[in-house]
Structure 1
Amino acid sequence: MQGWLRQAAGGLPRQFWFLWTGTLINRVGAFVVLFLSLYLTGERHFTQSQAGLVLGLYGVGGAIGTMAGGVLADRWGRRPTMLLAQFGAASLMLTLGFAHSYPQILVVTGLLGAFGEGVRPAFSAMMVDVVPERDRVRAYSLNYWAINLGFSLAAIAAGFAAQADFLLLFAIDAATTLVTATITLIFLKETRPARRPAPTGAAPTSGGGMFTALRDRTFLAFLLVNLLSVMVILQHWSTLPIAMQADGFSAATYGWVIAVNGIMIVSGQLFVPRLVEGRRSHRVLAVATLLIGVGFGLVAVAHAAWVYALTVVIWTLGEMLQSPSNAATVAALSPSALRGRYQGLNSLSWSIGTALAPVLGGLVLQGPGSTTLWTGCFAVCALAAAGHLLSGPARERRAALRRTEEAARIAAATPGRVVTTDLAPTT
């Protein structure tokens, strides 16, 4: 067990553990978004369409926040961007709890989405800055584990808090966000790489702002392929409960079936780095995407609760492989000067997937029907897996160039130091 713990968590930088601790604390208190729709319809007595508009504005604000946060992380710095977003989100969280009128709630929720999601690019960029490339899959697995553990605990605790007083949800969420902001303020140092002239022969994507990132075809192709699997995996909270309801299952049954996902991630995610160690990331992503496709495809023949649970087991295995490999790929493709922007674009692609998944899934379910939806999910994932395999060599070449650029940047910053292409410095 000690050997396994060392392999899973040993040797990571001190600053990473402060980031990890902040993630866990923030997720344990992430109550508001989980219960916002229930609060709006139950406590505030808004209609479902009104509640839907509020949630939609949160998503719009989040999309704007991720883009703005990515730009600020590169121009202003990771730490100040995180502090602005975290203190702003805590204030808005409490403000939303005291807002009563519908226009007030609309405005505050939109701003909350911008500040709440605006921290993500800076957080992710800082993690890339402090964790060497060879350790990133482990680091992302640990962070993903903390996210899911915190989410599971939050879902349980928020239920009890909501029974006492809905305002308690907003207060606890704001408090944990403030604790996370305090960790950022006291323990985290700025990690944004110093701006220096690009080394001779470097690709033009080494600088130039958001438009440069948007012209990076290798990165955009990766985001497009990943978006396909995102739209499939997000069916678990949109069309999957509808399919189970059509089969006569209650909301409680859906609850324990989907709980398998969280249980597997919390109990098994830390074994993933050893499983994928030494394997090419595009092949891991291809296998992960196929597992997701198989899991959702089998929903077409699932009519018993245990079969639904089995489908969750299969696509969760794919999700566990995909998440850290996906994050490590984004990090490897990002030039150091534009890490915030690249992370912002990656977050934006997930926001787009979150918006498209329920709409497209609902249209297919209502039109051609359930069988078409789930077999279509498998077909989309098979296409995405092929995309990973076909575009993998180009990604590897781009990642090798990024390593060379980063080694040259570090060497220029510290004359007399030799830096290997895996960014492990030696004198």
Structure 2
Amino acid sequence: MKALIRLYLNSYKGLSPAAWLLALVMLINRAGSMVIPFLGIYMSSELNFSKPQIGIVLGCFGLGSVCGSWLGGLLTDKFGSFKVQAFSLAMVIPLFLILPQFRTFEGLATMIFTLSVVADIFRPANSVSVARYAKPENITKAYSLNRMAVNLGFSIGPALGGFLAKFSYDWIFYGNAIAAASALIVFILFFRNRKARTEVNQINISAEEDKDKPVRNAYADGKFIVFNILCCLFSMAFFQLLSTLPLFYKEIHGLHADQIGLLLGFSGFVIVLFEMVLVHVVEHRFSVRQIMLWGTAIAAFSYLMLTVDFGIAWLFLAMFFLSTGEMLTLPFTATVAIGRASRSNQGAYMGFNSLAFAAANIFSPYLGTYTAEHYGYTTLWTITAILMGLCSIGFYWIITKMDREPS
């Protein structure tokens, strides 16, 4: 038991105070992550949208996410990560507050697109902040800590959202606004005058390191483009978690909103408990390509589990495997992206990587809902598992190519 406690404590060793503060901001912000997991159910039960309409609205969320990720990377390199993050947090507050007033298909689609653009400007700026406040040897740990905060918030958000939905879906939107306002206050309070690690005493060292590193164009870097295509395909499969999976729980298993919230929140709970330890154990024992190979394969297996029905416990077990695959895949995509960048274009690289994940949200909801509607959920989960399996092989191949490339 002592050895286990020591391992757990060591997994957090070396993280800077700024990394913890960034994680705190992310935790508060994501504790309000109530809208997206319940958006499909909201449109189905409250607004009586058809499945194709639900898919299109969720696709608008993805399209806005792509635009926001690209714009966020551009703005971060130009204005700095602090201003971009503060702007994003401030602007989403009024958008969440007025969103319940838009109840037509066209109006809601437009608002979801706008909200997604503004919200996802935050992502590349936040990723750059994590890299700049972390020590080089602890970058993956810092990203894992940030993701742990995201998932702790995500475990709280859906559970709270499911509770609020029993009274009114409007309160889900208001809860998101309150969380964004709280995150904005904490972020400005802690980071207004705080300098990044590379700005305190590492300026000369960073400049020397950057001089020897090739300055690539993120959008013309062939190997990175292939890597991002694989990230996009992986995300199209993985993000069924936020679109068709809640509908599957409701329609096939007859779960209520609060039960769905607890099941989705369980994913965040697992990640909060195990991600930092898991990353600490594997990152120095295995290569990034090996970790991502197995992580993606485990996620594929979790979706394959959904093709058979062994009750509610089986759904929790499948979610556990999906969470494990996520822990072994997503933190390392950011590590690969930041490793390809020079200091002058970190925003562009992180923005392009965020864009790859965001692009999946354009196609993933519509393709998922269309497949479920016309061919059934079993076919959807089988296709999802096969796509993830192919991505696992692709990640191993392209990262091997990157590693062999002279730097």
- TM-score grouping bracket, smaller chain normalisation: 0.7 to 0.9
Can you list the C-alpha shifts for 1:273-319, whole angstroms capped at 9, x where unaligned? 22213121111001111112222234334454444443333332211
Name the CA distance, whole Å, in 2 between partners of 1:58 and 1:52. Answer: 10
Can you list the C-alpha shifts for 1:114-163, whole angstroms capped at 9, x where unaligned? 11111111011111111123112222222222111111212232334445
SS in 2 for 1:300: coil
Pairs within 5 Å for 1:22-421: 22-37=25-40, 45=47, 47-48=49-50, 54-97=57-100, 107-164=110-167, 166-188=169-191, 189=194, 191=196, 202-205=213-216, 212-240=217-245, 249-252=253-256, 258=264, 260-278=266-284, 279-302=286-309, 304-362=311-369, 364=371, 373-397=380-404, 401=407
- Matched residue type, 2:255: A
- 1:262 CA drift (Å): 3.3
Name the CA distance, whole Å, in 2 between partners of 1:239 and 1:101. Answer: 21
SS in 2 for 1:11: coil
- 1:364 CA drift (Å): 4.9
- Matched residue type, 1:250: G
Conserved? CA contact 2:334–2:353, under 8 Å: no
- Matched residue type, 2:227: F
Conserved? CA contact 1:238–1:358, under 8 Å: yes
Q: 1:88 to 1:236 in 2, by over 3 A?
A: closer
- Matched residue type, 1:91: P
Name the CA distance, whole Å, in 2 between partners of 1:41 and 1:371. Answer: 21
Q: 1:259 to 1:250 in 2, by over 3 A?
A: farther
How many residues end up aligned between the 2 structures?
392
Conserved? CA contact 1:78–1:190, under 8 Å: no
Conserved? CA contact 2:128–2:350, under 8 Å: yes
**Structure 2 partner of 1:419:** none
TM-score (norm 1): 0.79
Conserved? CA contact 2:275–2:327, under 8 Å: yes
Output the aligned Cα RMSD: 3.4
Q: 1:257 to 1:218 in 2, by over 3 A?
A: same
More divergent stretch after superposition (386-395 vs 184-193): 184-193
- Structure 2: gaps (5+ residues): none
Q: 1:100 to 1:282 in 2, by over 3 A?
A: closer
- Matched residue type, 2:344: A
TM-score (norm 2): 0.82
How many percent of aligned residue pairs carry the same amino acid? Answer: 24
Name the CA distance, whole Å, in 1 between partners of 2:208 and 2:23. Answer: 33
Q: 1:396 to 1:80 in 2, by over 3 A?
A: same
- 1:89 CA drift (Å): 1.2
Conserved? CA contact 2:69–2:358, under 8 Å: no
- 1:62 CA drift (Å): 2.3
More divergent stretch after superposition (364-373 vs 325-334): 364-373
Conserved? CA contact 1:141–1:270, under 8 Å: yes
- 1:352 CA drift (Å): 2.1
- 1:367 CA drift (Å): 6.1
- Matched residue type, 1:175: I
Q: 1:23 to 1:257 in 2, by over 3 A?
A: closer
Conserved? CA contact 1:79–1:190, under 8 Å: no
More divergent stretch after superposition (98-107 vs 255-264): 98-107
**Higher relative contact order by CA 8 Å / sep ≥ 6: 1 or 2?**
2
- 1:73 CA drift (Å): 0.2
Q: 1:306 to 1:178 in 2, by over 3 A?
A: closer
- Structure 1: gaps (5+ residues): 206-211, 402-427
Conserved? CA contact 2:240–2:365, under 8 Å: yes
- Matched residue type, 2:317: L
Larger Rg, first or second structure (1 or 2): 1
